[in-house]
Structure 1
């Protein structure tokens, strides 16, 4: 006999399902509509979603939620999907020069940040070393969702963008390991491992996660290419599943699942698989859904009653982190790789915190560490305040430090089978107010064979350019190029934007002079 709706044996009734779908769908609609508010005001979307969670929580509409264990599980699931989106949409040639400094910042930099914040919290706030180290580790990770969303609106050089993307993809893994180890040590002091043992375990898990991620990503990509290339929708699901498999395989073998996931997604996104526009669109949608669900859930779990008490400690920890720990960690990690002081200052300000620290703040409670119930409220307040301070000001800081580019080139995602079959890409080039592309005619760009400017958007009007059409400040160019010439087109646009129409000729002339060192250069 089938159980009836409302039967106690079902555990979850049709009536409860209806209520859950009603609340969930309305919440999603409000969150989607709220993006317009975020775009207009510059208020980070994650804060809006946290606010929505608070509004529908026990102090708002009255929905009661106090399950830290479920929050941690769902939080990890959401972070996996967010990392997958980041990896799939990150181009290898954009981050390959940043892998070494980003890896060092995600490991050595995290260690420096934890040490500085812990010492400050111990001596300024009078916390025990256990509490100081726990909080320092929890807030040391930058957030992939926050970083990826902000980078879409700031025209940065490829090296800085790649640096931030790679760091936010890498540093979740060591921070999760560190927080878990410190929480276990606080809960069971007699079973605590030595710092060297923790360091060795972390190195082993990270290395294992890296190997598993690369292997699963490559093998899964080849399998998908050969067996599931027919339907773009089905193919997209398969690609996401491969990246999730990397997490599960690594975690099952006690390796770093987060690092495996990101690297697997990075490999998949750069294998030249079919249906890339569809895969990117699907991954972006899944990533947004994960972000919305995660931030609303964290808002539900939070209790505003404890915020006031943690305001001052959150400000102290946050200021130490922003003004001292983060700059020192950046200097210790990337100064060896030729980053200027201005670039280091920007990297310091761009260390955005988001969902990851708030999720990790539930770990000490779940591990039953003593006297740590206040940590979640402190981290929540810190994330809100410093996201409000850093994220909206990031474009202004970039301009003041002079690290922005005068133009920005982005791949235009279009689901177009003919374009894909021609091995072509669509790029948009935003001509900034200081770009030297201004006044350059289309024919003077000297784009390689297989590339052309097909459309110009100017003052809200579309212009089909002729070879003698001149580019203006504020224009948005649509460039069609073959995949083989894509990097060349981007380099050419960057060179002309920075050096004018003769930039490439001047560069070639300098190279010729260098090749003939015995002959002096003459200028008429």
Structure 2
């Protein structure tokens, strides 16, 4: 037992070091997690004899659930909703097109049977959310035309559909005469959606409307809800990945409290889940078995990357006037990864007999994809002129603190004010506040206790930040050239009754607005509602 714990701790530490070194080499850390697993595996240096696909499938499936839940929870719907239609097409029809074209290759060039070709196409049809998220954030890829949000939403939402295709084709391969494919598809989708809505409503209601959840236990409660949603969905024959992803998306975009605590916790758990999946994938591999399938894996990887994925992207996005540059970048960003390998393990555990080494082929395709596409994604984005220097990719995630805490207050001292000719230490400042400077005739005076206040002074106070209630919010709105507030005075805006423009950030200036203030392009408008 002690040796097992020591080995486990060693693996985690090595993967953490891999994360650190990956940035120096410009290589996604997930690849290094795989190599750590290979190092510990039967053909590696440590030589741990591990080939239990059933145990690996159970562990990886639970780990993937955490990744899916966090992918939904940390997706900012407000930033992603404009791209939601395109993302939904890519995560459903796009998955189907990619799977179908890949199956054609396997049938005619690799001489696989029809169902075996469809199976490998289904398993490899989704993009890897963990890899896409990690690269966008770590490389700080600020992309034009809402491309980052589109990629995040698509990569996080296409795994359920790929899983659905895999389940259906496995049923056909097993020749289950009693299986009703249309009913199976309907149950997978409907149960998954309904379960997500029910458990999300329960979670949000308990967190917002009751005090049943003790302070500090929000994260544990959400994990319990996620596991309950997963178990209920599986028992009812639904799509577990769809339900868990939607659950995270709904809860993450509700106004629950303590997101600043919940998200870092979930981020840490998800990082551990990624380490676990990629390490186990590496541990399961036998490098001596991979040699014979390398040509097949390279052919499939090239075909998916250069032909299948681009065809799906261009067919679905060009009608929406997406630029060629955006389509090319999205095509290149279709990384295969953890989900594909987990689905491959699921196929093996299901008892399907195949005439090719599915696991090692999928493993190598994922390895090539993350290594080559992932490493060169920033360069491709730069060469396609898709980098947006004025945007911030962090704002497409829910852990970006969009709420603006206004902690500085300006106070004008007119003639006759009771503070005139008094020292700072002798006046009654607002509770918890601090006078940090005085603006006097274009001069700035750093205040001390004996600083005298004169008529006409502007005192800058540092005041305690107001913590909004769950039904209140301070939010930033970025005014671009297409925004309907641009070049309009505030008095002419048709604002909701419960909304107030509290602050305008213009360059390095913070403006307290009135009705005559004209909102300009590139302003950041802070609203209270």
Structure having the higher Rg: 2
Instruction: Tell me the residue number matched to 1:281.
Output: 264
| Equivalent residues of 1:173, 1:258 under 8 A apart | yes
Gaps (5+ residues) in structure 1? 1-16, 416-424, 429-447, 454-463, 469-479, 511-524
5 Å-filtered alignment, 1:328-367, equals 328-367=311-350
Superposition deviation, residue 235 in structure 1: 1.3
Structure 1 counterpart of 2:112, from 110, 123, 127:
127
Instruction: Tell me the residue number matched to 1:181.
Output: 168
Instruction: Tell me the residue number matched to 2:91.
Output: 106
Instruction: Tell me the residue number matched to 1:368.
Output: 351
Measured in 2, the distance between the counterparts of 1:373 and 1:323 equals: 23
Instruction: Tell me the residue number matched to 1:26.
Output: 10
Cα distance, 1:29–1:313 mapped onto 2, change above 3 Å: same
Measured in 2, the distance between the counterparts of 1:62 and 1:449 equals: 54
Cα distance, 1:218–1:303 mapped onto 2, change above 3 Å: same
After superposition, what is the alpha-carbon deviation per residue over 1:317-361, rounded to whole angstroms, capped at 9, x for unaligned?
A: 111111111111112333343322221111111111111111111
Superposition deviation, residue 286 in structure 1: 0.7
Structure 2 counterpart of 1:156, from 137, 143, 154:
143
| Equivalent residues of 1:91, 1:270 under 8 A apart | yes
Instruction: Tell me the residue number matched to 1:198.
Output: 181
| Equivalent residues of 2:326, 2:386 under 8 A apart | yes
Instruction: Tell me the residue number matched to 1:264.
Output: 247
Instruction: Tell me the residue number matched to 1:231.
Output: 215
Superposition deviation, residue 23 in structure 1: 0.3
Measured in 2, the distance between the counterparts of 1:505 and 1:131 equals: 53
Paired residues in the alignment total 434
- Secondary structure (helix, strand or coil) at the match of 1:486 reads strand
| Equivalent residues of 1:212, 1:246 under 8 A apart | yes
| Equivalent residues of 2:75, 2:398 under 8 A apart | no
Measured in 2, the distance between the counterparts of 1:404 and 1:130 equals: 41
Instruction: Tell me the residue number matched to 1:437.
Output: none
Superposition deviation, residue 159 in structure 1: 2.4
Cα distance, 1:51–1:507 mapped onto 2, change above 3 Å: same
| Equivalent residues of 1:228, 1:235 under 8 A apart | no
Superposition deviation, residue 398 in structure 1: 1.2
After superposition, what is the alpha-carbon deviation per residue over 1:229-282, rounded to whole angstroms, capped at 9, x for unaligned?
A: 6523x1111122222322222222111111111111111111121111110011
Superposition deviation, residue 77 in structure 1: 0.3
Measured in 2, the distance between the counterparts of 1:328 and 1:199 equals: 27
The answer to which structure has the higher helix fraction is 1
Structure 1 counterpart of 2:475, from 473, 482, 486:
486
Superposition deviation, residue 413 in structure 1: 11
Superposition deviation, residue 192 in structure 1: 8.3
5 Å-filtered alignment, 1:344-423, equals 344-372=327-355, 374-409=357-392, 410=394
Q: Is the deviation greater in 198-207 or in 81-90? A: 198-207
Superposition deviation, residue 293 in structure 1: 0.9
TM-score, with length taken from structure 1: 0.76
Cα distance, 1:114–1:216 mapped onto 2, change above 3 Å: same
| Equivalent residues of 1:117, 1:136 under 8 A apart | yes
Q: Does 1:59 align with 2:48?
A: no
- Secondary structure (helix, strand or coil) at the match of 2:198 reads helix
Instruction: Tell me the residue number matched to 1:222.
Output: 205
Measured in 2, the distance between the counterparts of 1:313 and 1:361 equals: 16
Gaps (5+ residues) in structure 2? 410-435, 443-464, 490-529
Q: Does 1:508 align with 2:491?
A: no
- Secondary structure (helix, strand or coil) at the match of 1:142 reads coil
Measured in 1, the distance between the counterparts of 2:230 and 2:285 equals: 28
Cα distance, 1:412–1:384 mapped onto 2, change above 3 Å: closer
After superposition, what is the alpha-carbon deviation per residue over 1:163-204, rounded to whole angstroms, capped at 9, x for unaligned?
A: 11221222111211211221232233x6386xxx53553244
| Equivalent residues of 1:85, 1:287 under 8 A apart | yes
| Equivalent residues of 2:87, 2:150 under 8 A apart | yes
Q: Does 1:50 align with 2:29?
A: no
Instruction: Tell me the residue number matched to 2:157.
Output: 170
Superposition deviation, residue 506 in structure 1: 11
Q: Is the deviation greater in 318-327 or in 203-212? A: 203-212
Instruction: Tell me the residue number matched to 2:299.
Output: 316
C-alpha RMSD over aligned residues:
3.4
Cα distance, 1:406–1:228 mapped onto 2, change above 3 Å: farther
- Secondary structure (helix, strand or coil) at the match of 2:49 reads coil
| Equivalent residues of 2:206, 2:213 under 8 A apart | no
